[in-house]
């Protein structure tokens, strides 16, 4: 299993380059912007596209909300990396489950394909996402009744720790869940790096 889970991909590109330990030039990433669909602020999607381009990585866009099952399966299985953007975690999980992409993603991760998460794309790997209701609007995912995440990490990531815009939300999550969950706050300059059994925050 190889995962790079960040709050902000554009702010951690140097970390990413070190982590992959290969020349990314010419690689292709399946770029999933779906979580940003219900959001008003989406500049981070463009920032990530630019970051990949600067690394020489081609981004092949896959919006799982509108793609056909065959397109989803093809793009997840054929490309070198998978990236899932920030946005609304509840909407993201709703769409992953609805399309069966959750199972396909886990399958690819288990095969060793590198998964890159940013904010919502990182949170969704936790055992359950209900804790981020202080940060994300649950009502954006009216059909989501089960908040079980993809459960590929044991921690409950809190992205944007120390970021002024998210201060209230991160504070509330920590106050409420501190004794209940294994919380892992990360700043916009940090990432959770997972390489098999080697798990570290940098």
**Dihedral angle computed from the Cα positions of residues 132, 138, 143 and 144, in that order, rounded to the nearest 10 degrees:** 10
Per-residue pLDDT tens for 133-143? 999 999 999 99
> Which candidate in 119, 122, 126, 196 is catalytic?
119
Per-residue pLDDT tens for 57-89? 999 999 999 999 999 999 999 999 999 999 999
**Mean pLDDT calculated for residue range 96-119:** 97
> 108 is in which domain, residue-wise?
2-201
The CATH number for 66's domain is: 3.40.50.880
Residue 33's alpha-carbon distances to 42, 44, 49, 184, 201, in angstroms, are 9, 10, 10, 24, 24
Known catalytic residue at 196: no
Number of folded domains in the chain? Answer: 1
Look up the pTM and report it.
0.97
Known catalytic residue at 160: yes
Helix/strand number for the chain, H first, E second: 7, 9
**Dihedral angle computed from the Cα positions of residues 46, 52, 17 and 186, in that order, rounded to the nearest 10 degrees:** 20
């Amino acid at each position: 299993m190889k995962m790079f889970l960040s709050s902000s991909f554009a702010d951690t590109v140097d970390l990413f380059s070190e982590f992959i330990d290969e020349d990314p030039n010419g690689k292709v990433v399946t770029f999933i912007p779906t979580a940003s669909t219900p959001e008003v602020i989406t500049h981070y999607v463009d920032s990530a596209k630019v970051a990949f381009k600067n690394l020489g990585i081609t981004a092949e866009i896959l919006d799982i909300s509108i793609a056909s099952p065959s397109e989803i399966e093809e793009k997840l299985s054929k490309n070198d990396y998978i990236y899932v953007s920030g946005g609304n975690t509840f909407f993201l999980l709703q769409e992953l489950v609805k399309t069966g992409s959750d199972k396909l993603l886990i399958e690819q991760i288990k095969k060793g394909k590198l998964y890159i998460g940013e904010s919502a794309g990182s949170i969704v790997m936790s055992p359950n996402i209900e804790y981020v209701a202080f940060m994300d609007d649950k009502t954006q995912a009216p059909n989501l009744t089960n908040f079980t995440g993809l459960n590929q990490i044991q921690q409950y990531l809190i992205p944007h720790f120390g970021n002024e815009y998210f201060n209230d939300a991160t504070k509330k999550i920590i106050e409420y869940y501190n004794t209940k969950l294994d919380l892992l706050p990360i700043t916009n300059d940090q990432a959770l790096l997972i390489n098999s059994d080697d798990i570290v925050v940098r």
